[in-house]
Protein backbone atom coordinates (compact mmCIF):
# COMPACT_ATOMS: atom_id res chain seq x y z
CA UNK A 1 0.00 0.00 0.00
CA UNK A 2 1.35 3.43 -0.81
CA UNK A 3 1.97 5.97 1.89
CA UNK A 4 -0.72 8.20 0.48
CA UNK A 5 -3.32 5.45 0.60
CA UNK A 6 -2.27 4.58 4.14
CA UNK A 7 -2.69 8.18 5.29
CA UNK A 8 -6.10 8.43 3.56
CA UNK A 9 -7.26 5.16 5.14
CA UNK A 10 -6.09 6.31 8.56
CA UNK A 11 -7.86 9.67 8.21
CA UNK A 12 -11.04 7.92 7.12
CA UNK A 13 -10.82 5.55 10.09
CA UNK A 14 -10.43 8.47 12.52
CA UNK A 15 -13.35 10.28 10.90
CA UNK A 16 -15.57 7.18 11.16
CA UNK A 17 -14.57 6.69 14.77
CA UNK A 18 -15.66 10.23 15.49
CA UNK A 19 -19.05 9.76 13.81
CA UNK A 20 -19.73 6.29 15.23
CA UNK A 21 -18.38 7.20 18.62
CA UNK A 22 -20.98 9.92 19.17
CA UNK A 23 -24.00 8.90 21.19
CA UNK A 24 -27.39 10.55 21.36
CA UNK A 25 -28.19 12.48 24.48
CA UNK A 26 -30.62 10.64 26.69
CA UNK A 27 -34.03 12.03 27.51
CA UNK A 28 -36.72 11.13 29.95
CA UNK A 29 -40.17 10.62 28.47
CA UNK A 30 -43.28 10.23 30.51
CA UNK A 31 -46.60 9.00 29.16
CA UNK A 32 -49.02 10.15 31.75
CA UNK A 33 -52.05 12.25 31.02
CA UNK A 34 -54.61 12.73 33.75
CA UNK A 35 -57.37 13.78 31.33
CA UNK A 36 -59.96 11.40 29.90
CA UNK A 37 -62.68 11.60 27.31
CA UNK A 38 -66.18 10.28 27.18
CA UNK A 39 -68.54 9.77 24.26
CA UNK A 40 -71.86 8.19 23.50
CA UNK A 41 -72.46 5.98 20.51
CA UNK A 42 -75.77 5.08 18.96
CA UNK A 43 -76.46 2.46 16.36
CA UNK A 44 -78.64 2.79 13.34
CA UNK A 45 -81.53 0.36 13.35
CA UNK A 46 -83.18 0.04 9.96
CA UNK A 47 -86.64 -1.48 10.30
CA UNK A 48 -88.20 -3.50 7.49
CA UNK A 49 -91.43 -2.53 5.75
CA UNK A 50 -94.52 -3.85 7.55
CA UNK A 51 -96.51 -6.25 5.35
CA UNK A 52 -100.16 -6.38 6.42
CA UNK A 53 -101.72 -8.61 3.74
CA UNK A 54 -100.73 -10.94 0.95
CA UNK A 55 -103.08 -12.19 -1.76
CA UNK A 56 -102.28 -14.74 -4.48
CA UNK A 57 -104.47 -14.53 -7.57
CA UNK A 58 -103.72 -17.61 -9.72
CA UNK A 59 -105.17 -16.40 -13.04
CA UNK A 60 -106.58 -18.83 -15.63
CA UNK A 61 -105.73 -22.36 -14.44
CA UNK A 62 -102.81 -20.95 -12.43
CA UNK A 63 -100.90 -19.85 -15.53
CA UNK A 64 -100.67 -16.13 -14.74
CA UNK A 65 -100.28 -15.77 -10.98
CA UNK A 66 -100.01 -12.41 -9.27
CA UNK A 67 -98.96 -11.90 -5.66
CA UNK A 68 -100.17 -8.64 -4.14
CA UNK A 69 -98.61 -7.34 -0.92
CA UNK A 70 -100.08 -4.48 1.06
CA UNK A 71 -97.50 -2.80 3.26
CA UNK A 72 -96.24 0.35 4.99
CA UNK A 73 -92.81 1.90 5.31
CA UNK A 74 -91.28 1.79 8.82
CA UNK A 75 -93.08 4.18 11.17
CA UNK A 76 -91.35 7.41 12.16
CA UNK A 77 -88.96 7.47 9.20
CA UNK A 78 -88.59 9.64 6.13
CA UNK A 79 -88.11 6.65 3.83
CA UNK A 80 -89.85 6.51 0.48
CA UNK A 81 -90.48 3.63 -1.90
CA UNK A 82 -87.05 4.43 -3.39
CA UNK A 83 -85.63 3.03 -0.12
CA UNK A 84 -87.21 -0.40 -0.72
CA UNK A 85 -85.64 -3.45 -2.40
CA UNK A 86 -87.75 -6.30 -3.74
CA UNK A 87 -86.81 -9.97 -3.90
CA UNK A 88 -88.35 -13.30 -4.92
CA UNK A 89 -87.23 -16.85 -4.15
CA UNK A 90 -88.58 -20.00 -5.76
CA UNK A 91 -89.65 -22.45 -3.08
CA UNK A 92 -89.31 -19.64 -0.52
CA UNK A 93 -85.65 -20.61 -0.03
CA UNK A 94 -83.27 -17.73 0.70
CA UNK A 95 -80.55 -19.51 -1.25
CA UNK A 96 -82.64 -18.80 -4.36
CA UNK A 97 -83.12 -15.11 -3.49
CA UNK A 98 -83.24 -12.93 -6.60
CA UNK A 99 -83.33 -9.12 -6.64
CA UNK A 100 -86.20 -7.69 -8.67
CA UNK A 101 -86.48 -4.15 -10.04
CA UNK A 102 -89.65 -2.24 -10.72
CA UNK A 103 -90.88 -2.81 -14.26
CA UNK A 104 -93.34 -4.88 -16.26
CA UNK A 105 -93.52 -7.74 -13.74
CA UNK A 106 -93.24 -5.67 -10.56
CA UNK A 107 -95.11 -2.51 -9.63
CA UNK A 108 -95.70 -0.54 -6.44
CA UNK A 109 -98.47 2.01 -5.99
CA UNK A 110 -99.64 4.06 -3.03
CA UNK A 111 -103.27 3.06 -2.39
CA UNK A 112 -103.85 5.46 0.52
CA UNK A 113 -101.73 7.73 2.72
CA UNK A 114 -98.62 5.70 3.58
CA UNK A 115 -100.12 2.37 2.43
CA UNK A 116 -98.57 0.69 -0.61
CA UNK A 117 -99.40 -2.29 -2.78
CA UNK A 118 -96.75 -4.20 -4.66
CA UNK A 119 -97.66 -6.71 -7.34
CA UNK A 120 -95.28 -9.49 -8.32
CA UNK A 121 -96.59 -10.81 -11.67
CA UNK A 122 -96.25 -14.12 -13.50
CA UNK A 123 -93.02 -13.26 -15.34
CA UNK A 124 -91.28 -13.44 -11.97
CA UNK A 125 -93.24 -16.42 -10.71
CA UNK A 126 -92.63 -19.03 -13.40
CA UNK A 127 -92.09 -21.84 -10.90
CA UNK A 128 -95.18 -21.12 -8.81
CA UNK A 129 -97.48 -23.52 -10.67
CA UNK A 130 -97.96 -26.33 -8.19
CA UNK A 131 -95.26 -24.91 -5.90
CA UNK A 132 -94.40 -21.93 -3.75
CA UNK A 133 -92.62 -18.61 -3.96
CA UNK A 134 -91.30 -16.29 -1.29
CA UNK A 135 -91.60 -12.55 -1.84
CA UNK A 136 -89.55 -10.13 0.23
CA UNK A 137 -89.24 -6.42 0.95
CA UNK A 138 -86.23 -4.73 2.54
CA UNK A 139 -85.59 -1.14 3.63
CA UNK A 140 -82.29 0.40 2.53
CA UNK A 141 -81.06 3.45 4.44
CA UNK A 142 -79.12 6.18 2.65
CA UNK A 143 -76.02 5.04 4.56
CA UNK A 144 -76.24 1.66 2.84
CA UNK A 145 -77.41 -0.15 5.98
CA UNK A 146 -80.32 -2.52 5.35
CA UNK A 147 -83.15 -3.99 7.35
CA UNK A 148 -84.02 -7.62 7.78
CA UNK A 149 -86.37 -9.03 5.15
CA UNK A 150 -90.13 -8.69 5.50
CA UNK A 151 -91.61 -11.72 3.79
CA UNK A 152 -94.64 -13.63 2.60
CA UNK A 153 -94.93 -17.06 0.99
CA UNK A 154 -97.41 -17.84 -1.77
CA UNK A 155 -98.38 -21.32 -2.90
CA UNK A 156 -101.00 -23.08 -4.99
CA UNK A 157 -101.75 -26.50 -6.30
CA UNK A 158 -101.86 -27.62 -9.91
CA UNK A 159 -104.08 -25.58 -12.20
CA UNK A 160 -104.18 -22.79 -9.59
CA UNK A 161 -106.04 -24.88 -6.99
CA UNK A 162 -106.08 -23.67 -3.38
CA UNK A 163 -104.14 -20.41 -3.79
CA UNK A 164 -102.67 -19.26 -0.50
CA UNK A 165 -100.39 -16.45 0.66
CA UNK A 166 -99.10 -16.14 4.22
CA UNK A 167 -97.30 -13.14 5.72
CA UNK A 168 -94.40 -14.14 7.97
CA UNK A 169 -94.53 -12.84 11.52
CA UNK A 170 -92.40 -9.73 11.98
pLDDT tens by residue, 38-56: 888 888 899 999 999 999 9
- Summarised one tens digit per residue, pLDDT across range 112-160 is 999 999 999 977 666 666 788 899 999 999 999 999 999 999 999 888 8
Q: Is the pLDDT of residue 20 over 60?
A: no
Q: Does domain 54-167 have CATH number 2.60.40?
A: yes
Q: Report residue 36's pLDDT band, with 50, 70 and 90 as the boundaries.
A: confident
Whole-angstrom distance, CA of residue 133 vs CA of residue 98: 11
37 Cα distance to chain centroid = 33
pLDDT of residue 66: 93
Domain boundaries, the chain: 54-167
pLDDT of residue 165: 96
CB contact at 8 A, 73 and 139: yes
Q: Is the pLDDT of residue 18 over 90?
A: no
Amino acid sequence: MSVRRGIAAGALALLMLGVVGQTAASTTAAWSDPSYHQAQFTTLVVSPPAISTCVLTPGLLGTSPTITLTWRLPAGTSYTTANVRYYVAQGGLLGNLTTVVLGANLSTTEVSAGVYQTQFRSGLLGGLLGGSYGVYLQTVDGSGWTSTLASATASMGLAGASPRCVVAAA
